[in-house]
């Protein structure tokens, strides 16, 4: 399937907080942009071979603008740094149409949104959407300090400002008492979290301890460490008629490339799902954060950018 792409331009750019570029994208011809649902992201084609995913944080009802918040991270793989260098006002860039891997549950009676650092971005779009629907929610924004935060003015002046709570590590009186905020899990309440991996692990573990079922805990990772340790195994590309050995420390993606099999890829961290392949035989060793636990147990799909094999042989439908 060919990805639908859009050509847009930077209408406005502001630096907020500690190195966050808040970027408003508009269509080049002035026409409305495709509608999106809260939690969606776009693939930003920064330059040839450099594609990164960023959550939309504008109000979904506004089809004139897509707003992104992008933290300049020197430890990143180059995407955010390049964005800060090149996406100045009036610069043109190619993006995908919005895709949503982090949607709001339509049957939720109440939603608790917990964003850590730049992980606040999809939560802002969710807050706009929930407010427009007249649904009950709280938005908790956690950061090291007020000075590190982007979007504070927008949130303080939003129509849902009364549902926004900020928590800063350097202000003990504002620190988040997560267990109290979550309360005991019940069928009507859903929890959403996005942020650094350690922060999200804390939110997810606490929600589980409070009795929330896994399908009521929604998460979106934006950066994870890829673990390529493990012994060698064989991968058979059934449709291509090729077989390759995947060495220790090598990804399936890299091994397939040595025999001329190209797989579409984006995040290369098991986050976005772009490189998903069907598994015909064998047992994957899932190391992604894309699939749910139930989907992992099915063992019928794998992300080849990060996952490995528990069996000596995997047969993939590629």
In a domain, 237, yes or no: yes
Mean pLDDT, each 10-residue run in order, the chain (318 residues): 81 96 96 96 87 93 97 77 93 94 95 96 98 98 94 97 96 94 96 94 97 94 75 96 95 95 83 89 92 88 95 96
Same domain, 121 and 209: yes
Among 30, 63, 96, residue at a domain's last position: 96
Same domain, 122 and 197: yes
| Predicted local confidence at residue 140, as pLDDT | 98
Distances (CA, A) of 287 to 230, 269, 294, 307: 12, 9, 14, 5
| Predicted local confidence at residue 1, as pLDDT | 40
Asked if residues 217 and 242 have their Cβ atoms less than 8 Å apart, the reply is: no
Same domain, 23 and 51: yes
**CATH code, domain with 238:** 3.10.20.30
In a domain, 226, yes or no: no
In a domain, 102, yes or no: no
Q: Which residues contact 196 (CB under 8 A, 6 or more apart)?
A: 116, 117, 119, 223
Same domain, 282 and 239: yes
Q: pTM of the prediction?
A: 0.82
Same domain, 87 and 182: no
Q: Which residues contact 227 (CB under 8 A, 6 or more apart)?
A: 287, 306
> What domain count does the chain have?
3
- Report pLDDT digits (tens) over 236-272: 999 999 999 999 999 999 999 999 999 988 778 887 7
Same domain, 151 and 182: yes
| Predicted local confidence at residue 224, as pLDDT | 64
Same domain, 154 and 203: yes
Query: Across-strand partners of 66?
Result: 25
Among 175, 195, 221, residue at a domain's last position: 221
Closest CA to 189 of 248, 104, 301, 250: 104
- Report pLDDT digits (tens) over 191-201: 999 998 899 99
Q: Residue 23 belongs to what domain range?
A: 5-96
String of DSSP letters for 66-132? EEEEEE--TTSSSHHHHHHHH--TT-EEEEEPPB-SSPPPTT-SEEEEEEEGGGGHHHHHHHHHHHH
Q: Alpha-carbon distance 166 to 98, whole Å?
A: 28
In a domain, 270, yes or no: yes
Asked if residues 126 and 55 have their Cβ atoms less than 8 Å apart, the reply is: no
In a domain, 287, yes or no: yes
In a domain, 266, yes or no: yes
Same domain, 119 and 196: yes
Same domain, 244 and 304: yes
| Predicted local confidence at residue 3, as pLDDT | 64
Same domain, 217 and 245: no
**CATH code, domain with 140:** 3.40.50.80
**CATH code, domain with 43:** 2.40.30.10
Q: Alpha-carbon distance 292 to 140, whole Å?
A: 24
In a domain, 194, yes or no: yes
In a domain, 119, yes or no: yes
């Amino acid at each position: 399937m060919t990805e639908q792409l859009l050509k847009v331009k930077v209408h406005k750019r502001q630096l907020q907080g500690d190195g966050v570029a808040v970027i408003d994208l508009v269509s080049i011809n002035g026409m409305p942009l495709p509608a999106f649902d809260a939690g969606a992201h776009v693939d930003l084609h920064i330059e040839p071979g450099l594609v990164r995913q960023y959550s939309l944080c504008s109000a979904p009802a506004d089809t004139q603008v897509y707003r992104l918040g992008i933290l300049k991270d020197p430890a990143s793989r180059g995407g955010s740094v390049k964005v800060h260098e090149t996406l100045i006002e009036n610069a043109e860039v190619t993006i995908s149409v919005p895709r949503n891997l982090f949607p709001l549950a339509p049957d939720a009676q109440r939603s608790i949104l917990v964003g850590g650092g730049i992980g606040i971005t999809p939560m802002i779009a969710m807050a706009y959407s929930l407010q427009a629907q007249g649904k009950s929610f709280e938005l908790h924004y956690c950061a090291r300090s007020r000075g590190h935060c982007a979007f504070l003015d927008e949130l303080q002046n939003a129509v849902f400002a009364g549902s926004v709570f900020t928590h800063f590590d350097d202000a003990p009186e504002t620190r988040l008492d997560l267990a109290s905020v979550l309360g005991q899990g019940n069928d009507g309440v859903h929890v959403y979290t996005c942020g650094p991996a350690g922060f999200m692990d804390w939110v997810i573990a606490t929600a589980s301890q409070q009795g929330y079922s896994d399908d009521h805990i929604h998460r979106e990772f934006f950066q994870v460490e890829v673990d390529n340790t493990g012994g060698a195994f064989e991968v058979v590309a059934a449709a291509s008629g090729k077989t390759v050995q995947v060495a220790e420390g090598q990804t399936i993606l890299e091994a397939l490339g040595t025999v001329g099999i190209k797989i579409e890829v984006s995040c290369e961290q098991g986050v976005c799902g772009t490189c998903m392949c069907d598994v015909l035989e064998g047992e994957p060793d899932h190391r992604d954060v894309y699939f749910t636990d139930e989907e992992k147990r099915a063992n019928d799909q794998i992300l080849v950018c990060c996952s490995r094999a528990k069996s000596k042989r995997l047969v993939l439908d590629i």
